[in-house]
Amino acid sequence: MIRTCLLRVCGLVKNSSRNGPSVSNGIHNLSVDHIRSYLLKTHIPLVHGTRNSTFFVNKSADELWKGVTSVSNAGRRRGRAKGLARKRDLNKGQIIGVGKIPVQFPGLNTPVFRGRELVQQQKLPMDPERQERLAKLRQNYQLRPKRIKVSPLERGWTSAQIGGRKIGPPDPIGDDTFDGFETWILESKLVNHMTGNLGRKSRVSIYVVTGNGNGLAGFALGKAPAQKAAIKMAKNRAGQRLMYISRYKEHTVLHDFFTQFGKTRIFVKKMHEGYGLVCHRAIKACCEAIGIKDMHAKIEGSTNLQHIIKAFFIGLLQQKSYQQLADEKRLHLVEFKSENGNYPVVIASPSKVRKPEEIASNEILDFTQYVLGGKVILQKKKYPPFYTRLPSYKTKLVKLERLRNFDKTRIQLLAEYGALHSFLTEKYPEAKLLPKPKKSENNETEE
């Protein structure tokens, strides 16, 4: 038994020595018999090159990355694919022929000939900063790119949808450019329709309004399979459907009006400077595109966004200019403003004015009622709050009786006399209101 084992060992050693002329134990240029006798020595270990077969060797890099980054279709529909690790390039910073020990290899990292001289293989000086550069490069690559922070005023109406965001001016058409224009996204939704050959087909619907803020604006609808394509289509269509809207002193509508589209009804009121835009957010975006700064709008009925925009633009286009109204009535159009002390100002006059005898007794002379087509808007009665019926409220009114109209009286005295004086101040100078002493004077008197 022992003899057969020895023969097997000798046979194994003999076969290993025939495979190559050299041995990986540092022994070179020796005869085969000498190598065999050398390998039979028990104190010299035998080194045999092996290639282990593991999971990482059997699978390719793409298959391994797929196992890390893949999600089932059911999980993808539930949004589980959003926070997955991304595929990374593990060879980032590595160059073929360049390693930890810099060696010059002709034909690999250097040319074979330099001029007429043959380049020799040689060792190059060490680069101490190479590892630091590689570590910094890989660290920056592993970090996720930072999201661009958008100003709160540019994020739109909500964080989930793109409605209310600005997307820039329409694309130029030939030599015509849209300088000074801005576009607002009003609506973004996914629409589907059934086809005979493709089944249910989905598209993105984008509704936008564009304008230069100086009376020129337009709106359009765009549909495309991709959101970016739909936005571009709607923006360019809106730029080709511009219309001019007249404004009063470049800040509000010409007059009150009522407009309707489908089941959507809008009541628009002309407001003074500084009032602001009190209306639906889509109407507010349209006003910014047109250049209207002060207005009040109330919506009744359906709040379909596309119907709201269409109804609003129909009402704006149906406005009548002051000269047109004066010519229709053949009367002077006079404006009264409370901030001007209700001083009458003629803003439009016809070519021929009617005489008082020609005006019928039942003719509508109220401006607001006339521009509304003879109709009167029903104003709901404002009910008094509940606390006005309590006994404590009556007690409060008794205590505040002597302070009624205090603010109005104070403003009137300041306007007439320049101070809180009255007509009795000259007769009774001791009743004159003295100015408040300064803090420095108070400190000196105390000391």
194 with 238, same domain: the answer is yes
Q: What is the pLDDT of residue 23?
A: 43
Are 372 and 401 within one domain?
Answer: no
Per-residue pLDDT of the chain (447 residues; tens, 9 = 90+): 444 444 344 444 444 444 444 444 444 445 556 555 555 555 555 566 666 677 767 888 888 888 888 888 888 888 887 777 778 777 777 888 888 888 888 888 888 888 888 888 888 898 888 888 888 887 776 666 677 788 888 889 988 889 999 999 999 998 999 999 999 999 999 999 999 998 999 999 999 999 999 999 999 999 999 999 999 999 999 999 999 999 999 999 999 999 999 999 999 999 999 999 999 999 999 999 999 999 999 999 999 999 999 999 999 999 999 999 999 999 999 999 888 888 999 999 999 999 999 999 999 999 999 999 999 999 889 999 999 999 999 999 999 888 888 888 888 888 888 888 777 887 888 777 777 777 665 555 555
Q: At what angle do helices 281-290 and 305-317 cross, to 10 degrees?
A: 40
Say if residue 205 is in the same domain as residue 235. yes
Q: Collect all residues with Cβ–Cβ distance below 8 Å to 396 and sequence separation of at least 6.
A: none
| Phi, psi (degrees; rounded to nearest 5) at 217 | -155, 160
Residues 181 and 131 in one domain: no
pLDDT score for 43: 57
Total domains, the chain: 4
Considering the domain architecture, whether residues 376 and 391 belong to the same structural domain is answered as no
Q: Is residue 341 part of a domain?
A: yes
Classify residue 315: in a domain, yes or no.
no
Same domain, 199 and 240: yes
For residue 170, tell me if it sits in a domain.
yes
For 97, other C-beta atoms within 10 Å of its C-beta total 12
- Does residue 392 belong to any structural domain of this protein? yes
Residue 348 DSSP code? E
Asked if residue 359 belongs to a domain, the reply is: yes
Query: Do residue 343 and residue 359 come from a single domain?
Result: yes
Single-letter code of the amino acid located at 88:
R
Distances (CA, A) of 3 to 79, 116, 181: 70, 64, 100
Give the predicted TM-score (pTM) of the model: 0.62
Nearest to 273 by CA among 295, 247, 256: 295
Same domain, 375 and 416: no
Roughly what angle, to the nearest 10 degrees, separates helices 2-18 and 32-39?
Answer: 140
Show the domain range for 119: 106-137
Tokens coding 204: 């993105």
Which pLDDT does position 41 carry in this prediction? 56
Measure the CA–CA gap between 299 and 279, rounded to whole angstroms. 8
Q: Is 299 domain-assigned?
A: no
Residues 172 and 121 in one domain: no
Cα gap 287→294, rounded to integer Å: 9
Residues 187 and 232 in one domain: yes
End-to-end distance of the chain based on CA atoms, in angstroms? 124
d(CA 314, CA 264): 12
The pair phi, psi for residue 116, each rounded to 5°, is -105, 0
d(CA 282, CA 157): 10
pLDDT score at 2? 43
Q: How many CB atoms lie within 10 A of CB 222?
A: 20
